[in-house]
Chain A
Amino acid sequence: MNWRYRMTLLFFLLVFGLIICRLFYWQVVRAQELSAIGQAQYDRQVTTIAQRGEIKTSDGFSIAADKLAYLVYANPKVVKDKDEESDTLGKLLDIKSATISALLSRDKFWVPLKVNVDNSVKEKIEAKKIPGVGFQDETVRFYPEAPMAASLLGFVGKDENGGNKGYFGLEGYYDRQLRGKDGTSIVVHDAAGQPILAKMNDSTMKVDGRSLLLHIDRRIQFLLDNELKNGIAKYGAQNGMAIVMDPKTGGVLAMSSFPSFDPRSFQNYNESLYKNPLISFAYEPGSTFKPIVMAAAMNEGLVKPETQCDICAGPVKIGSYDIKTWDDKYFPNISMTDIIVHSDNTGMVYTGRKLGMTKMLSYFDKFGIGDSTGIDLQGEVYPSLRPESEWYPIDQATATFGQGLTVTPIDLITAFTAIANSGQRMEPHVVAAVQTPDGQTIPIPPKKLDQPISPQTAKVMTEIMVKAVNDGESSWTRIKGYRIAGKTGTAQIPVEGHYDPNKTIASFIGFAPADDPKFLMLVVLNRPSTSIYGAETAAPIFFDAAKNILNYYGIPADPSDE
């Protein structure tokens, strides 16, 4: 009995030992794997894609939003008459039927035919009831006003993981805000595959992207686009750009440049067009820079509007260089006001000498020249200024009339906010507020960058610039009945160590109404061919656009000014 008892006990111990070992193997060694297999039988992980935020103009209109599109696919093994279906699909999808035919002859169960197909096309294909053809929902970026403001908006392309990513302009700068965060949901289902209501949960919540409410006024943007496009064609310019800003807040009301691209089909355009020239095109500003230097000298009390220039009777010699006026006409004892009105280079050399190198560079710094403006757009370029030790007398002389130093259009217009806004230089901003998915609006308040000149100096400079419009070279195109402050610019272009006499950058900068500015505008034309002068090319575009903007704002003309 004893040995039988022991054998039985041993047998049971062995069996229990084996069971324990097996349980250990299942519950400890392969626990995670088996748990995952088990979970897969009743739940499914679903990625919920966050909706990209919209970009809205100041009137709340979405100029960039997501829209529903479709990927059209086919199962070649199900499609019966491949030649006939290839012809039908080719016509509807606007693809060569030979391409479709090649795809349908593949030995596969799934082939993509076309992405980004509109609902109208999808409905037409559905009506044909072609067997083996299906649709997969996808979200694409939609620009209803395209190509309007393309360089301002940028576009949405793909990142290295195939996800959506914004590039250039607002889409690029605010990509993280706009894109939101994708979520993961776990849907538990029963044996029949139906989801179980109580067991559905979001393990990680998706967060939709935030929307941007812009300072951009859609009406001003539309009319500026038209005026600039027509102007570039009329004056035969290589390219052109224009910007309208509210000088009191720094809010960008419109931004336009041509040639441009269409964000809906950005891949069909040259990459050089993606850059926004208003923030990346560095050029010598020419005479549009003169009011900055003059304002600095006046703010220092070194000159007054009636101060006379005693070196302006002829060309000014600096080293081996002769500084001449643009038309080789000279006005002895010309006043500071008339220096700006007649855009006299020799007068500006006089002003620069009064100001001195150190103070001039200090004012450039206060006006933000050579520094980033802080605009909320991707791709801003800011050509830095040389240190004072590298400036020679000829450099200082040419800088007074905007040659020999480079700025970007956004740099220049931001500097001019100081003159138009009682001496306060404002930070340029395109986005006025950010809207969260739950409807909360977070405003971005205007930001004062500096106060380079006093309100009195700003007022005096405004009067001088009003006189420049009324009596200067661009007076032929001015709008009668309005006090508009402005300045023309005709900058020569440096080519291989010298200035090309026949190629210029023509520009005009100004603000209106001069006494209570509602907008500040800069128009720049690169290499106009009908005339090289800003007064004959950029100025008419400026005044045509200004007239429309003044009408739009409902600002009446003064009938006494005829």
Chain B
Amino acid sequence: MKKPILILSLLGCIIVVLALVRITLVNSISTNGIKLVDIQNQIGAYKKQNELLKEKYLMAAAYTSISAKAESLGFVPVKSQVDLSAPMPLARAQ
């Protein structure tokens, strides 16, 4: 007669422990949704920032804008070339 009582009390304890574990877990993850929203918002903000920075970089590195800036600063295109492999034009036969 003692054995069934022992088993039944053991099972009861297990049920209580599992119930407590479940309550603890549920409580601990119940606020994860808020954290998740925060993380998603942060990811969204970083992505936006990244896209805006990329746009700025592309605009700044575009030849059309560099050329316009260079022109406004007074730079002019070089029409002649310097060829270092050619002999210096000294004492050249006429």
Contact = CB atoms under 8 A, between A and B. Distances in A.
Interface residues of A, number: 29
Nearest to A192: B33
Interface stretch (A172-180, A193-201, A294-302): A193-201
A190 interface: yes
Label chain A's interface by main secondary structure: mixed
Contacts of A222: 63-64, 67
A68 interface: yes
A197 B55 contact: no
A317 interface: no
A219 B63 contact: yes
Nearest to B82: A551
Contacts of B40: 195
Contacts of B69: none
A148 B33 contact: no
B48 interface: yes
A145 B63 contact: yes
A149 to B, nearest CB: 11
Contacts of A198: 29
Interface string B55-94: 1001101111101000000000000010101110000000
Contacts of A148: 63-64
A195 B36 contact: yes
A194 to B, nearest CB: 3
B37 interface: yes
Given A68-B48, A195-B37, A557 B86 contact: yes
B83 to A, nearest CB: 5
Contacts of B54: 65, 67
B33 A61 contact: no
Contacts of A67: 51, 54-55
B33 A197 contact: yes
B87 A559 contact: yes
A556 interface: yes
Interface of B: 29-30, 32-34, 36-37, 40, 48, 51-52, 54-55, 58-59, 61-65, 67, 81, 83, 85-87
Given A195-B37, A556-B86, 12 more contacts: A62-B58, A68-B55, A144-B59, A144-B62, A148-B64, A194-B36, A195-B40, A196-B32, A197-B36, A219-B63, A559-B86, A559-B87
